[in-house]
Structure 1
Amino acid sequence: MVYLNYQNITITFAMKKEVLFLITDATQSEKMIHIPITQVVPGMVIARDIYSRNDQLILVKGTKLLPNMIAKMMFYTIESIFIYKSEEDIYSDSSYYNRIKQSEDFKNFKQTYDDAMMEIKDSVNLLLQYSNQVPEQQLLHKVEKIIRTSKNKFHLLEMIYCIHEHDDLTFIHSINVALICHVFGEWLQIPPHEVKILTICGLLHDVGKLVIPKEILNKPGPLTKEEYEIVKDHPEQGYLLLLNHKMDERIRLAALEHHERYDGNGYPLCKYGNDIHPFSMIVAIADVYDAMTSRRVYRGAICPFDVIKLFEEEGKQQYDVKYLIPLIQKIAEIYINHTVKLSNNQKGEIILLNKDSLSRPVIKVDNEFIDLSKHKDLRIEAVI
């Protein structure tokens, strides 16, 4: 009898708890909105726990978003989240990147970039409709026009970092990934003729999105589950699309495999390890790097050291380290001698990188040297 009473109490309690939960959730749902990740800005508060594709908890409900957290969601290709309705905090660009945007170098770069983008867009649309051969040299020539406007590889990445959001995100992202692949290929000492192929791999990696209905691809709000599955099908669509064209097979593979991950948790084929072509792996790194660092008019770009930290701490499982480590080392080297703002509002100059902790370099603040690898309570908040 006591046992039954105990069970009844437990069941009653559980039922009451469930009812209370449902009421609370219903009340809270009126205060939350569902938005795509591209519209997320620092200061927003998460209304539901966020999980990765393999059910890893990334961020918990109630978290107030910081730029590095947004980078983390992009790293895991989170498409949309629930946030509480509130006044949005405005993310202010660092003065360093404002200076770049005002420079003549950037203005010239952007003009060449915009002109090349329109030409590339026209060429890709035409070849998909009428041609059975991808004009690789013609496309490469247009990308190289952009490259020639930069002083060096570091300068090129900084220019890309400052490019604003454009009406056609698919093409601007594809050009960015092509440029980044060119830089990565040279950093990895890939032979020049192979770097050209890698650059085209980057340019056409998202070509499958061109067959996705524009009302889905450009939807201002979050995608439904069905719509997300359609978008998620773009690697296979891209491969099939390019199958009808004469080209280097690695270009087709990059379109198919750029969402595969070294640990097998990617898609569409769940390939892992060396089953993924090296060029596809490099394109995958470039793809995520651009997604995390690309500026948005309403958000600004995410601090590059937050991006480096994510690649250091979580990228080693998802990407082949023989490509990843040299690339993030080179990215970190860009910022040696640059002034940064720390999370305690101090300002200093990066003077030395820590090989085993690239996101935590040595900073000179006045006459003091701060080794961030030994001061875990501090982080680089912005390049200024």
Structure 2
Amino acid sequence: MRVHITDVRSGDQLSEDIFNSFGLNVLSKGTILNDREISRMYQHQIDFIEIQRRPGTAPAETEKEDKPNSNYNPLLRPLYHDAVAGAEQLFTRALEEGKIYEDDVKESFQPLVDNFRAERDVVSLLLMLNSQDDYTYQHSVQVGMLSYYIARWLGWNEEETVRAGKAGFLHDVGKCKIADAILNKPYKLTDDEYDEIKSHPQYGYEILKNSFDDPGIALAALQHHERIDGKGYPLGLTGDKIHPLAKIVAVADVYSAMISSRVYSDKKDLLQVLRELFDLSFTELDPEITHTFIRHMIPNFIGKRVELSSGESGTIVMSNPTDFFRPLVQVDEQFIDLSVKRDLEIKQVFM
């Protein structure tokens, strides 16, 4: 049976060899298709393939895959996991040698960046790719991804946008010098342990300064915990004294940290965290960058399934122009305006 690449299911089996436009054999007849095989077909721009008929499928039936991720590029999932593994290798090498190599960054992060350009639904990417594993390295990849998008939404050119993604990807490399027992401690840190954690921006700055000719990348690592009100660390910088790359990375860093599960805190819902970022934009985070991020993220929630605090499930059908964080939700045949029903909250967003 002939199916479009977006309709391929994990476990499907090829009934014919696949060749790309140059005549190169991509996959052989009989191959069982999983994430990596599907990703390979995307890389070779394959549109349609022939697979063995699925059990229970009538000969004349036209297939249309009905799964949550069918409209996302399956290439991103394995590339994301490769980038997380690459981040771990970068941290290990930085600890051993005191520097990072450009080729290693390109190999681990650039393939993901190349595929970000075609993706618009950042909320779905975060829902699809977020997991509870390898927080430190996954966080680095997420901050790189979000920094890339924020720079693009600010109108930066492609070169500067990629630079922002790189800065986000490398911002926490100084944590390679922090003991795992401190990084992964499941309860409150002592004052000495917290002081050691607060050393990671300086550690990262030294590593990146020794690795690249671009001072902005190193400054983003040094300053990503600075806050515009002067209450950040390690230097207590304010406003315009903070490098623009660091301001972008700071927003991405806070968002990723708050939506992720960590040993000492549960993750929060993506929409709830945007509301918390909005509050921080008046005190700690750059308001232009934060509001740009929020404005571009909000439309991505339309069409997403949600669970309300009442236990009901529904779908976000419209954002509220006067209150971004309390949209219109459809539950069965009923429409609930959360800006009016103040006793209800969105508890969780799903794909």
Q: TM > 0.5 between the two?
A: yes
In structure 2, the partner of 1:186 is 152
Q: Match of 1:318, SS?
A: coil
How do residues 218-257 of structure 1 correspond to structure 2 at under 5 angstroms?
218-257=184-223
TM-score, normalised with respect to structure 1: 0.65
How do residues 155-304 of structure 1 correspond to structure 2 at under 5 angstroms?
155-161=121-127, 162-166=129-133, 168-295=134-261, 301-304=267-270
How do residues 1-384 of structure 1 correspond to structure 2 at under 5 angstroms?
108-126=75-93, 129-130=96-97, 134-136=100-102, 138-148=104-114, 152-161=118-127, 162-166=129-133, 168-295=134-261, 301-384=267-350
| Superposition deviation, residue 107 in structure 1 | 6.7
Change (3 A) 1:344 1:104: closer
Percent of residue pairs identical:
33
| Superposition deviation, residue 130 in structure 1 | 4.2
Change (3 A) 1:319 1:379: same
Contact 2:144 2:168 in 1 (8 A): yes
Paired amino acid for 1:247: D
Contact 1:164 1:296 in 2 (8 A): no
Question: What is the rounded CA distance, in whole Å, between the counterparts of 2:265 and 2:234 in structure 1?
Answer: 30
| Superposition deviation, residue 106 in structure 1 | 8.1
Q: How many residues are paired up? A: 283
Change (3 A) 1:151 1:103: farther
| Superposition deviation, residue 135 in structure 1 | 3.5
| Superposition deviation, residue 377 in structure 1 | 1.6
CA-to-partner distance for each residue in 1:70-104, whole Å, 9 max, x for gaps? xxxxxxxxxxxxxxxxxxxxxxxxxxxxx75x879
Question: What is the rounded CA distance, in whole Å, between the counterparts of 1:248 and 1:321 in structure 2?
Answer: 26
Question: What is the rounded CA distance, in whole Å, between the counterparts of 2:247 and 2:74 in structure 1?
Answer: 32
Contact 1:263 1:272 in 2 (8 A): yes
Task: Give the gaps of 5 or more residues in structure 2.
Answer: 1-66
| Superposition deviation, residue 360 in structure 1 | 0.9
Question: What is the rounded CA distance, in whole Å, between the counterparts of 1:190 and 1:296 in structure 2?
Answer: 32
Question: What is the rounded CA distance, in whole Å, between the counterparts of 1:160 and 1:301 in structure 2?
Answer: 12
Contact 1:340 1:380 in 2 (8 A): yes
| Superposition deviation, residue 295 in structure 1 | 4.3
Paired amino acid for 2:184: N
Contact 2:251 2:290 in 1 (8 A): yes
Paired amino acid for 2:77: K
Change (3 A) 1:153 1:265: farther
| Superposition deviation, residue 108 in structure 1 | 4.9
CA-to-partner distance for each residue in 1:246-299, whole Å, 9 max, x for gaps? 331111111111111122221111111121112111100100111111246998
Paired amino acid for 2:82: D
Paired amino acid for 1:110: R
RMSD: 3.0
Q: Match of 2:235, SS?
A: coil
| Superposition deviation, residue 202 in structure 1 | 0.5
Change (3 A) 1:246 1:115: closer
Q: Match of 1:357, SS?
A: coil
Question: What is the rounded CA distance, in whole Å, between the counterparts of 2:203 and 2:87 in structure 1?
Answer: 20
CA-to-partner distance for each residue in 1:30-85, whole Å, 9 max, x for gaps? xxxxxxxxxxxxxxxxxxxxxxxxxxxxxxxxxxxxxxxxxxxxxxxxxxxxxxxx
Q: Match of 1:354, SS?
A: coil
| Superposition deviation, residue 301 in structure 1 | 4.3
| Superposition deviation, residue 323 in structure 1 | 0.8
